[in-house]
Structure 1
Amino acid sequence: MRIAGRDLDRAALERRAGDLSAAGGIRAVVLDDGAERGIRALEFRTGGGLAFDVLVDRAMDLGTAEYRGHGFGWRSATGFRHPGLHEYGDENGLSLMRSFSGLLVTAGLDHTLFTAEVDASQYRYPHRATVWNGLHGRVAHTPARLHGYGERWTDDGRCVLWAEGEVRQAAVFAEHLRLTRRIEADLGGSEIRLTDTVRNAGFDPTPHMYLYHINVGWPLLDEGARWELPAARTLWRSDSVAEQGVSHLVMPAPLPGFVEQVYEHELVPDGAGRAQPRLVNERLGLFFELDYDTREFPAFFQWLHLREGAYAVGMEPSTHHVAGEEAARADGSMTFLAPGEERRYHTVFRIGEL
């Protein structure tokens, strides 16, 4: 392990420190002020320059993130709002915008993308023939049941920092989906590994849609930052692209009144079926890279929100295309999990020096 400029094995580390926290580790805290008050969080420090927070009470999503003193996880004006303040049906389904912040906001488990009212007859409850879904679904505002966290030494001498928990999205006469999320980072390392398992724990076929909203903010995002996208072609773009004409490859400084620009790209996978889009800041000498399996997430969206005061870009691997749930049901591409069926997702967030 490379820590504090030296290569150390377990024995060498233990000779120098009576507690692993001298090098890195995980600390459990509770946020205690403002709209964030009461949220359980796990503070990861790898000792390799990477530090990030896991928001246990917000689906174990990733909040703040920095590398060697430079932030890269987006911080919006909403802060990390407590899920108890969230009203799912508020503002015509756009209530997510009142708590939209952090490196990772998970969308799902049964719905992603724009609002939709869809058939729910599979649940056989006459008073709920349809179900209405807000933007990006419910899961991001659901607290997890924490299974545990800590350090694990591997046979090859690595120390792995880990946390695991379960998020239940369930209702009577409706879906019963469970997300088991495991987060790992190596001591001395600079990547976050995410392993998610979504299982239909109910007894009815249940819709499943899944999307990661991975948000990078200032200072990694800045004027002159550039994208490296292994794109074969662009399948869709929002109307704002033609109206504004702002490049999706080289980023400007924050713009007044900017309207979000969204693209769906078809990315070219490597030989292992994975794609690695990245954002590069040459002034800082840093990059942020997403590494995901295109068979697990066959769609990918690029989100540009370059407005003053809310300056962010997003990488969004998705199980479904940009037209959303109604279109997926109409063309037969909608995913339904049978009772007991599960899907797994293996994703890496990587930060490093050029």
Structure 2
Amino acid sequence: MKKTVMFSALALLISGPVMAKTWVLTSAEGGTEQGNWRITSDQLNIKDQQFSIEQVVLHGGKQEGSKVIKLISKNGLTIALSPTRGMNLLYADGFGVHMGWNSPVKEVVNPAFINLESRNGLGWLEGFNEMVVRCGYEWTGHPVTADGQIYTLHGKVGNTPASQVSVDVSETAPYEIRIRGLVKESAFKKVDLQTETELRYIPGSNSFSLHDVLTNHADYPHDYQIIYHSNFGKPILEQGARFITPYENVSPFNDYAKGGLKEWQTYAGPTKGFDEMVFNIKPLFDASKQTVAALVNKAGDKGVAISYNTEQLPVLTMWKNTDTEKQGYVTGIEPGTSYAYPVTIERAQKRVKQLQPGQSTRFDLTYTLLHNSAQVADVEKRVKEIQGSKTPQTIDTPMAKE
């Protein structure tokens, strides 16, 4: 379909920073694939920052053929993402802090080896090990069979290889780096959703941002959902770690989560036999519709904060999975258009959105690695400012039952 966005050098130069260099790593339409590739600040004759960007093709096991792009800033962050897995972010490290988690799934699993319909619609779990997974866009949430089909766990986009991938580096300070991808969810007579993803990073910074544009390329309206499933383990997650966000109300996802409602904002250490607990949050926001959610360690000197726009992503899910370390000791901070209930429930409760033919919508999030007590204190101050005098409400009853 000719409406498909082409990631040509000219298009990137027009839409990106002034005086930028661009490398197209993958183009399905152009038949381009760079494979193993690398560029450095030295090669670009940049003297006041040291960084490199590389793509590596993996081999062996279920990661055969998977690609990983790694952005390394000597005095900032190292960020890894996989074009093979929907441009998902694998991890981000820097300043002595790791952002990500230790999943039992050790490989960057190629979607060719995943059957999303296996395990009664839970096949998605066989590749789940990333720091940030885009869950959507055609649907998201827990699996359900309806409308003559299986809506598998958290949709398909996270297991869809990108059709277009490019890297863009500004030639002038502060040398912003942009990694772009195009991920298509297309099926004859069913859907033609396309998402232009973009990661932006300034070398030396302790934060990066995601800017995604979802477009309905079909001639008919189509529903969409998205959850930015953002996952963190040690060293930030530990016994006594805290979750903070300004909120209007919180409710348990199900009856099991009701048992943890009193302590929902604090974490236990690794606990054998702990089933996952999920909490539904209605966030508060500032005058610009912006808000923040954060995980901070017990000492209050390490953490991660996610800032996002509540007009784009109106609800927030917090996922607690403080099981054993080998089982996957992790928590999720998940801004979205929907909660994690099956699409049938989200439709009934009017949270499923729709795009008209040719219509686009965008999602903008900023992730910040907090690596000292002053940075943590700044986020806590922002949470308090947005919360203001509004007393948050705790609702004991789940809003739905699967």
Q: Structures share a fold, TM > 0.5?
A: yes
After superposition, residues 165-204 of structure 1 pair within 5 angstroms as 165-204=181-220
Indicate the SS of the match to 1:64. strand
Tell me if structure 1 keeps the 8 A contact 2:86–2:160.
Answer: yes
Tell me if structure 2 keeps the 8 A contact 1:26–1:150.
Answer: no
After superposition, residues 328-343 of structure 1 pair within 5 angstroms as 328-343=346-361
The partner residue of 2:132 within 83, 94, 104 is 104
Residues 1:339 and 1:21: Cα distance change in structure 2 (over 3 Å): farther
After superposition, residues 280-319 of structure 1 pair within 5 angstroms as 280-283=296-299, 285-308=301-324, 309=326, 310-319=328-337
Q: Deviations over 1:101-145 (max 9, x none)?
A: 1111111111110123344xxxxxxxxxx3321011111100002
Amino acid at match of 1:85: F
Deviation at 1:332, TM superposition (A): 4.2
Residues 1:150 and 1:47: Cα distance change in structure 2 (over 3 Å): farther
Greater Cα shift, 247-256 or 176-185? 247-256
In the other structure, the counterpart of 1:46 is 73
- How much identity, in percent, do the aligned residues show? 23
Q: Deviations over 1:287-308 (max 9, x none)?
A: 2001011110111100000000
Instruction: Write the distance in 2 (CA, Å) between the matches of 1:64 and 1:315.
Output: 15
Amino acid at match of 1:147: V
Tell me if structure 2 keeps the 8 A contact 1:94–1:134.
Answer: yes
Deviation at 1:171, TM superposition (A): 1.1
Greater Cα shift, 19-28 or 172-181? 19-28
In the other structure, the counterpart of 1:144 is 162
Tell me if structure 1 keeps the 8 A contact 2:252–2:258.
Answer: no
Residues 1:232 and 1:336: Cα distance change in structure 2 (over 3 Å): closer
Amino acid at match of 1:170: S
Matched, 1:117 2:159: no
Tell me if structure 2 keeps the 8 A contact 1:72–1:221.
Answer: no
Instruction: Write the distance in 2 (CA, Å) between the matches of 1:322 and 1:138.
Output: 15
Residues 1:217 and 1:246: Cα distance change in structure 2 (over 3 Å): farther
- CA RMSD in angstroms comes to 2.3
Size of the alignment, in residue pairs? 329
Deviation at 1:25, TM superposition (A): 2.9
In the other structure, the counterpart of 1:326 is 344
Amino acid at match of 1:25: S
Greater Cα shift, 24-33 or 131-140? 24-33
Instruction: Give every structure 1 segment of 4 or more consecutive aligned residues whose post-TM-superposition deviation is greater than 6 Å.
Output: none
Tell me if structure 1 keeps the 8 A contact 2:239–2:298.
Answer: no
The partner residue of 1:73 within 95, 100, 106 is 100
Q: Deviations over 1:80-121 (max 9, x none)?
A: 2111111021110011111111111111111110123344xx
Tell me if structure 2 keeps the 8 A contact 1:46–1:185.
Answer: no
In the other structure, the counterpart of 1:219 is 235
The partner residue of 1:240 within 256, 263, 266 is 256
Instruction: Write the distance in 2 (CA, Å) between the matches of 1:346 and 1:214.
Output: 14
Deviation at 1:317, TM superposition (A): 0.8
Tell me if structure 2 keeps the 8 A contact 1:233–1:266.
Answer: yes
Residues 1:97 and 1:21: Cα distance change in structure 2 (over 3 Å): farther
Instruction: Write the distance in 1 (CA, Å) between the matches of 2:341 and 2:165.
Output: 36
Tell me if structure 2 keeps the 8 A contact 1:64–1:75.
Answer: no
Unaligned runs of 5+ in 2: 1-40, 374-402
In the other structure, the counterpart of 1:30 is 57
Instruction: Write the distance in 1 (CA, Å) between the matches of 2:76 and 2:127.
Output: 28
Amino acid at match of 1:317: P
Tell me if structure 1 keeps the 8 A contact 2:69–2:83.
Answer: yes
Tell me if structure 2 keeps the 8 A contact 1:298–1:319.
Answer: yes
Residues 1:19 and 1:185: Cα distance change in structure 2 (over 3 Å): same
In the other structure, the counterpart of 1:58 is 85
Instruction: Write the distance in 2 (CA, Å) between the matches of 1:69 and 1:351.
Output: 10
Tell me if structure 1 keeps the 8 A contact 2:116–2:153.
Answer: no
Instruction: Write the distance in 1 (CA, Å) between the matches of 2:368 and 2:340.
Output: 25
In the other structure, the counterpart of 1:274 is 290
Please, what TM-score do these two structures have when normalized by structure 2? Answer: 0.77
Indicate the SS of the match to 1:295. coil
In the other structure, the counterpart of 2:276 is 260
Tell me if structure 2 keeps the 8 A contact 1:237–1:261.
Answer: yes
Amino acid at match of 1:320: S
Deviation at 1:197, TM superposition (A): 0.7
Amino acid at match of 2:68: A
Matched, 1:348 2:366: yes
